[in-house]
Structure 1
Amino acid sequence: MKIIKSASLETIEAHSVIVEATFTKGLPSFTIVGLISTSIQESKDRVKSALLTNDFKFPPLKITVNLAPSEIKKKGSHFDLAIALQICFYDNKSSLFDDFYIFGELGLDGKIKDTNSIFPIVLSLSKQKNIKKVLVCDQTAVKISKIPGLEIHVVNTLSEAIEFFSSKENKNFFKNSSLDYKFLKHKEEKYYYKQEYDLDFLDVIGQDMAKYAALISAAGNHNLLMEGSPGCGKSMIAKRIKYIMPPMNLEEILEKAKLMALDFKDVDFSPTRSFRSPHNSSTKSSIFGGGSQNAKIGEIALSNNGILFFDELPHFSKSILEALREPLEDNKILISRVNTKVEYETKFTFISAMNPCPCGNLLSSIKECRCSDLEIQRYKNRLSEPFLDRIDMFVTMNDNLSDNKNIVSSKELHENVIEVFYKQIKRGQKNLNGKLNDKDIKKYCILDTESQEILDKAIINYQLSYRSINKVLKVARTIADLNDNEKIEKSDLLKSLNFRKR
C-alpha cells in the first residue's frame, strides 16, 4: 500500500499525517476516514471535480482514504492534493512519494492553491526536523522558501503534479531565498533590522522622561506603565516603540510570520516586531486563548517577541489583569481544555497607559479634577500590588506641551537600541535584560561597591520585594549598557530606582 505524507495543525504545533487508500471491489463509492473535519469531508467533491476536469477516469471501485493516526483530529483543505494523488496512482505499486510532504488545496479545475495553515505546518515540521522535501504550489513556495534546510518542489496544477511523479527525475526546484534587510552578525547568527519609521518620535512634543523610558524599554524588553492626563502622548509613544525595537534573528522572524498566518493575515517577513493592542472590552479568551473544545491562541500568543499594548489599563477586567501575572513572570502560559492542552511562549514587552483618575485631570495643570478621593482610590485599586510588581518601569507624564527642547528621532533611538542589543548578545545572553532569569541576573547584573550600598538602603526605605529588586537590577543593567558602563554604577542604579513605583 502506498503512503503519502502530509500534516495537520493542532493549535500551534504540527503533527505528521499519513494519507493511505484502499481500492476494493464493490459498489463505487468514495469515503474519507480518520477523525476528519468538515473541510476534509468537502475535499471529496473538490478532488472528484479536479480529477474529472483533467481527463482522469475515476476507478469504478470502493475507495477508502484514511488519514492516520486516527486519534488526532485533522482539519484543513490542504489535504486535497495528497488525496487526489493517492487516487491517480492507485494502480502503481512503486514508492513514488518517499520523503515528500505534499500540501495544497485543489480548485474545481485542478489548480493548486495556498492555504493559511501550510506555512505554520511546514515551519513546525522543520523545527521538529521531520521534513526534507516538500511539494507545494508557487504561492506557498515563496513563503516557505525562507525556512532553511528545505528542498522545495513546485507544481501549480493537478496535471503537473501527476507528471512530476510520473517522470523518472523530479524537477521543478524552488530556490530558497534569504532576507534582504540590514543585519548584525555574531557567531554566524544574523540579526535583521529595518530602518523605516512610519511613526516617528519627532512627532512627540516634550515628555523627555517618557521618551527615555521608551528607549530603555525597547533596548532591554522591559515592561512599561505610563500615567498621565488625556492627550499628553501616552498612546503616541507606545505606538512608536515598535519601530525602535531590537533586531530579530531568522527564527523570530519565521515565528512572527507563523503567528500572522494563524491570525489569517498576509505573511510578512520584515524584522519589525508585532504590535497587538486589544480593546479594554476584550474577553479573557480573546486575550489568553481558549475555546470550548480546541484551545486557540489569543492576543498574548500573537504578541510573542513583540509588544502587547493595553491602553486605559484600569478599564480591563480584574480577571484579565490578574491572569496576566503568569505570562509576565514566566514568559509562557498553559491553556488547558478537555480535549487539548497547549503551552506557548509569551516573551512580549508589555506596554500600558492609564489616566491618573477616572476623569483624567488629576495631574493636569489647566483642568480641574472632578473626582472624589474615594473615586480615585477605587480607580487605583483596580490594579493589584502583585500585578504592579511585575511592571519594570513607571513614568508619570505631564501635560506641558511647550517644553520641546530635546527633540529626538526614532532613527537616533533605534541606533542606540541596536548598540545596546549587540552588547547583550556579545556578553552571551540568550535573553535581553528584561527577560533574564535569577541565575543570569547574578551573572550579568554586577554592581560596584557604592551601588550595592545604595541598593541595600533602597530595599529598606522602599520595602522592595525580591521581584522588585530583580526588576531594578535588570533596568539598571540596560541603563548601564546605554551609558557604556561594564558594571552597574551609582548613576545607573539611581535612574533605575527612579522608575520604580513608590
Structure 2
Amino acid sequence: MKSLKCAAFTDALIPVEVESTFVRGLPGFNIVGLAGATIKESESRVKAALMSLNFKFPASKIIINLSPSDTPKNGSHFDLAIALLIALQKERIDGDFFVFGELGLDGSLKSTASLFSILLFLSTKVKRAKILVPQSIALKACTIPNYDVYAVDSLSDAVRFFLDEEFAASRLMRETHPLFKNVVEIDGQAYVPNRDFSLDFKDVKGQKRAKRASLIAACGMHNILFEGSPGCGKSMCAKRIARILPPQSLGEVLLSCAYESLNNKDVDFSALRPFRSPHHTSTRSSIFGGGSSGAKIGEVALANGGELFFDELPHFGKQILESLREPLEDNRILISRVNS
C-alpha cells in the first residue's frame, strides 16, 4: 500500500491521506472514503491521463481510500494524488508530500478555484510541509510561509519528480511574486503599498469637510455615514476611501485572496484592499453568508480588511440592517446551517 497527502474542506479544512492498493480480482477502479461526485468523476480523468502516458493498467482491482473515511470529501484537486499512486504503485515514494492538482484528459495539470484557500488554511495546520502543485498556481503558493513548493506542468513531470532526484530539486520554486518585490518595512513587518489611484479624491470638487472625514475614517479604519442631497459627492468619496486605506501586510494580502477563492474565483494578489458594494435588493444570505444546501461566504467576509459600502442605506431591508449589529460589535460573522 502507498499513500500521499491532500486536503479538503468539510466543516473545517482537514488533511486527507490518499491510499492505494492493487488486489487480486476482476479489473476495476474503486474510490472509497465518502468521496463526493467530483472525486468519483476523477476515475475517467485519471484513466485518460494515464493512458496518455502509455500506462498499462494491471489485471488487478485498484482501490483508492481517502482517510479519514468517515468525513465527506469533494474537489477535483485529488486527481493528481490518485494518478500518481497508480502510476508509481511499484516504485518507492520517499518523503512526505502534499499533492494537489486537477488533471486534463491529455495529462496536463490544472489549478482549481479553491486551491489557494486550501493551501493557505492548511499552512496553519501543518509545519514546514512539502507540496507539489500545478505550475499555474506555484508563484502564488510559494508566498505562503511554512511551505516548500514544487511545481510541475503535467502528469508525466509529476511521475518523473518522484523518480529523478535532480529533476525534483530543479522544480523547487524560489521566485518572488512581483507584488512583494517592493514592500515597505514598518517595525519589522512587511507591508505592500497601494499604487493604484485610478479613483482619486482630486475628482471630488469642493466638499472639504467630507474629504477630511474620509481621511480620518481611512487612517483609523473607522465607520463613516454620509448624508446629503443627490449628486453632492457621497458615493464618489466612499469609492475613493479604499485607495487611501493603510497598506496591507503580507498576511492580509494572502487572507484577502483566500477569501476570494472561497467565493469560487481565481484571483491574483492585489495591493488594493477589498471594496464591496452590494445592491440594496441583495438577500441576507448573500451579504452575511449562508445558503440552503451549504454555507457560503458573504459580502461582509469578502470585505474583510477593506471597505463594505452600502449605497442608499435606508433602502436596505430592516432584517439586514439589524443583522449588521453582530459584525459591527464583535468584528466577526458566524454562519450556521444544517449541513455546515
TM bucket normalised to smaller = over 0.9
Between the aligned partners of 1:225 and 1:62, the Cα distance in structure 2 is 65
Q: Is the 8 A contact 2:273 2:306 kept in 1?
A: yes
Displacement of 1:264 in angstroms is: 3.2
State the secondary structure of the residue aligned to 2:227. Answer: strand
Cα deviation, 1:412-463, whole Å, max 9, x if unaligned, reads xxxxxxxxxxxxxxxxxxxxxxxxxxxxxxxxxxxxxxxxxxxxxxxxxxxx
Q: Which amino acid aligns with 1:45?
A: S
Cα deviation, 1:337-385, whole Å, max 9, x if unaligned, reads 2232xxxxxxxxxxxxxxxxxxxxxxxxxxxxxxxxxxxxxxxxxxxxx
Q: Is the 8 A contact 2:114 2:265 kept in 1?
A: no
Q: Which amino acid aligns with 1:105?
A: E
Displacement of 1:207 in angstroms is: 1.3
Q: Which amino acid aligns with 2:68?
A: P
Q: Is the 8 A contact 1:3 1:20 kept in 2?
A: yes
Between the aligned partners of 1:158 and 1:83, the Cα distance in structure 2 is 11
Displacement of 1:270 in angstroms is: 2.2
| 1:104 matched to 2:101 | yes
Aligned to 2:126: 129
Q: Which amino acid aligns with 1:287?
A: I
Q: Is the 8 A contact 1:101 1:131 kept in 2?
A: no
Aligned to 1:249: 249
TM-score by length of 1: 0.65
Q: Is the 8 A contact 1:50 1:106 kept in 2?
A: yes
For these two proteins, the number of residue pairs brought into alignment is: 337
1:246-285 correspondence to structure 2 within 5 Å: 246-285=246-285
Over alpha carbons, which structure has the higher Rg?
A: 1
Displacement of 1:261 in angstroms is: 1.8
Displacement of 1:265 in angstroms is: 3.1
Q: Which amino acid aligns with 2:159?
A: I
Between the aligned partners of 2:139 and 2:255, the Cα distance in structure 1 is 16
Q: Which amino acid aligns with 1:269?
A: F
Displacement of 1:53 in angstroms is: 1.5
Aligned to 1:91: 90
CA RMSD of aligned residues (A): 1.6
State the secondary structure of the residue aligned to 2:136. Answer: helix
State the secondary structure of the residue aligned to 2:280. Answer: coil
1:429-448 correspondence to structure 2 within 5 Å: none
Aligned to 1:311: 311
Displacement of 1:174 in angstroms is: 1.2
Q: Is the 8 A contact 1:125 1:131 kept in 2?
A: no
Aligned to 1:44: 43
Aligned to 1:359: none
Between the aligned partners of 1:129 and 1:16, the Cα distance in structure 2 is 9
Q: Which runs of 5+ in 1 are unaligned?
A: 341-502
Q: Which amino acid aligns with 1:57?
A: K
State the secondary structure of the residue aligned to 2:17. Answer: strand
Aligned to 1:120: 117
Displacement of 1:309 in angstroms is: 0.5
Q: Which amino acid aligns with 2:316?
A: F
State the secondary structure of the residue aligned to 1:127. Answer: coil
Q: Which amino acid aligns with 1:154?
A: A
CA separation of 1:97 and 1:283: change in aligned 2, threshold 3 A:
farther
CA separation of 1:338 and 1:331: change in aligned 2, threshold 3 A:
same
Between the aligned partners of 1:241 and 1:115, the Cα distance in structure 2 is 32
Cα deviation, 1:175-208, whole Å, max 9, x if unaligned, reads 1415446543233211221233011111111111
Q: Which runs of 4+ in 1 moved over 4 A?
A: none
Cα deviation, 1:145-181, whole Å, max 9, x if unaligned, reads 2212321112111111111111244321111415446
Displacement of 1:31 in angstroms is: 1.2
Between the aligned partners of 1:241 and 1:294, the Cα distance in structure 2 is 34
Displacement of 1:14 in angstroms is: 2.6
CA separation of 1:215 and 1:280: change in aligned 2, threshold 3 A:
same
Deviates more, 1:181-190 or 1:160-169: 181-190
State the secondary structure of the residue aligned to 2:329. Answer: helix
Displacement of 1:230 in angstroms is: 1.2
Q: Is the 8 A contact 2:219 2:245 kept in 1?
A: yes
| 1:327 matched to 2:327 | yes
- Identical pairs, percent: 53
Aligned to 1:165: 162
1:447-486 correspondence to structure 2 within 5 Å: none
Between the aligned partners of 1:255 and 1:39, the Cα distance in structure 2 is 26
Q: Is the 8 A contact 1:181 1:194 kept in 2?
A: no
Q: Which runs of 5+ in 2 are unaligned?
A: none
Aligned to 2:135: 138
Q: Which amino acid aligns with 1:100?
A: F
State the secondary structure of the residue aligned to 2:321. Answer: helix
Q: Is the 8 A contact 1:5 1:101 kept in 2?
A: yes
State the secondary structure of the residue aligned to 1:227. Answer: coil
| 1:234 matched to 2:231 | no
CA separation of 1:168 and 1:144: change in aligned 2, threshold 3 A:
closer
Deviates more, 1:99-108 or 1:169-178: 169-178
CA separation of 1:100 and 1:217: change in aligned 2, threshold 3 A:
same
1:284-303 correspondence to structure 2 within 5 Å: 284-303=284-303
CA separation of 1:292 and 1:66: change in aligned 2, threshold 3 A:
same
Q: Is the 8 A contact 1:3 1:97 kept in 2?
A: no
Q: Which amino acid aligns with 1:196?
A: D
